[in-house]
Chain A
Amino acid sequence: MEEKQQTKPNPRDVGPRKALGSLHQRIKEARVLMVGAGGIGCELLKNLVLTGFGEIHIVDLDTIDLSNLNRQFLFGMQHIKKSKAMVAKETAGKFNPNVKLHAHHANIKDAEFNIKWYKGFNLVFNALDNLDARRHVNKMCLAADVPLVESGTTGFNGQVQVIKKGVTECYDCTPKPVPKSFPVCTIRSTPSQPIHCIVWAKSYLFTEIFGTSEDDSPEFDHTKDAENAQEIEALRRESQELKKIREQIGTDSFARSIFEKVFTRDIQRLCGMEDMWKRRKAPTALDYDTVETAAKGIPGHTANMDQKIWSLEENFVVFVDSLQRLSKRVQELHAEDGDKSILSFDKDDVDTLDFVAAAANLRSHVFGIELKSKFDIKQMAGNIIPAIATTNAITAGVCVLQAFKVLRQDLSSAQMVFLSRSSERVFSTEKLSAPNLSCDVCGVARATVEVDLSRATLDDLIEGYLKKGLGYGDEISILTDQLLYDPDFDDNVGNEFTSMGVEEGTFITVMDDNEEEGENGEILQPRVNLVLAVVNKEIEEDQDPIVPPEEGMVIPRKVKQVEAAPAPQEAHGAAAGAGMKRMHEDMADSNCGAKKRKLDDATAELSIKDGRRGKGKMEVVEVDDSGVIEID
């Protein structure tokens, strides 16, 4: 295998071979997938290409934006609006001509990227910026049994985690934060913070006037609706009235009608609810004519001053001006498609941002809440996460060092790594935790099932594959993204898979609810959930349309829950062996996982400047044990 015919080694190999020994040959032969060519992706691709990874596939759906250029160094001004995957390949390809690069300008969730395709890689790197895609790749890597190096950054914070089926925790073994939501009444009746008014402007007012419908936004929390039935009913009437005003779009009085509805009459109604204001400061309704008179002479380009906190009158001017701009756009769209078009809020669409900023500030003024600059409102409304080149560069470096351990098949020395902001160290590390047995994603059995989709029915799966093949009883449920079967719902039994939307690559989950008696009379727990990945295969007519499970395949049983265990989360943390406590981050849409580090006292808070604290303070946990506190 040694390159005996070569008299002189490639100069690119000399350094890495000295420092890495035999690992270097594995790196050169490795075929890896990188999902995401953004902040971490650009840095990671540079590292992979120069380290000499043999073949690298890049998948990214995004195109290049101006605000990427402060950190995504493979892209320049001339690349704006082009495919990230394609340009990254083109730029990084020049760093090392010996590496094979393939770019896919596509969504990683596309059907072409199936389990078989994943199985072709030695290693997958996640360099993503959203939870949904991360979860998808995590699931695919578990299904294909390919190791995954997962990474994320937020501002100065970064983390890297190695994931391997059956050996380590998966991405979903620890719960991830859900996007923050607010009770309807807080947003609609009793706001007390700038964010409440921003959500109101974006998810209520804007959508009522230009979008589809009220409060189906995930930002609204309806769990308390029943307690406040009366107020909710009044709010429903308010929305109905606003819908009527929407029909006046394009008329001269449109801005006045909206303004007087939401900043005068609705506020007056709220003020009338005396109980509501016993312990809160009551709002003050605005008068259109008064504000308009005071605003005379303020230029329309006020909206460009995005750092400045606008006065009441400046907000008024921007409100009226942006409403006109948006109305004109809607009318033009409607002229083409007969009143069908709607607009949706986009932080980079300046008309929508101006409207939301001005409306949010007018509402803040009404309720005596601090006003915010457009720059800050953009971040809060658009869930913008600060991002810098250095954090991404450091994190991407760590990804490759962890990949070395995976390629050496030395997972016991692979780590969970956090960028630390302590004055005493730049990294904190943990051993990788064992899989969480109750994880919905990896605490399941996985198998591939070969099905002749041209004729197989649900019954073939239940009676043949599950009952006859694996010994399942009657108490089972079968689902994809919809319920296909349970003991009380057998309508689909005779139907072909294709009629239920099952196709190549679909995951079918089988849940076992049978508690049965074992051979010696002991009670057997139900089996863990079984996730079957469907592979289409043409099968001879005289044979069953589903290939039976392999001889000897057994689905493991669930572990009996110990009821006395008071804090499963803690117990799990302790089981990880690092003696750590875990907390969940209270940050919507964070790039990072659910944990953050305890910071040094000197830098104990995320020092985002004035008003740029995003969704509030990061929660942090101490997990390091490198001998800092000594108790003799």
Chain B
Amino acid sequence: MHAYLSLENVGMEFIRGNTKSVVLKDVGLKIDRGEFISIIGHSGCGKSTVLNIVAGLLRCTTGGVLLENREVDSPGPDRAVVFQNHSLLPWLTVYDNVRLGVDKVFGKTKSKAERHEWTLRNLSLVHMDHAIAKYPEEISGGMKQRVGIARALAMEPKVLLMDEPFGALDALTRAHLQDSLMEIQTTLGNTVIMITHDVDEAVLLSDRIVMMTNGPAATIGQVLDVPLKRPRRRLELAEDPTYVHCRGEVLRFLYERHRHVEAA
């Protein structure tokens, strides 16, 4: 039995000067193809560190990450990242931001016309095809995040990594984007790891929720299955007993068992 993506005893230490801080210890997780996983935990516990290790942007100090049985040791478009603050390049238009990745990934396999087509297709997937000639500063925060998602999706990643993709957005925009993301997930069936602070977002979107203990030396405290049928609709779910149960589980984990010491 081989998982599609597996984190094996991942540990991470940062050494600054002569102080060593252990951030992650023994993080182990197996993820199947097409699964949507959220990681939730208090601020500073090491969620971004986990994601960056899977992305290859950081090397873990112990253990390792396997994607289709190959060790991850450097970043690559097969593990595209949606960054928290969108990270669109301000000197490129919406179209060119997406096209940059498309050209890089499909430069040899697709013709120019096909790459153009593919760029537009991904932008329309996130409902941004009306603003392809705009520059990032000319569009709203929610739209920027949509473009960031399109840029990542257009690289046809094996795993889509999202670090609090909607963290900076207002509640309404956030709900819109969550709906878009679910819609995209239904059509594409991507494997996704998403970091979030938002309990409802985690329950609404995920197949499984990974809850992390507080640092230092944070690890996975509990993994919760979310056995809700798809497609999920937020209005109907509000009173669904499974939804309420899952939500309660996550809240209990965060606020009873692993209450953030400094947050009190």
* Binding between chains A and B: no
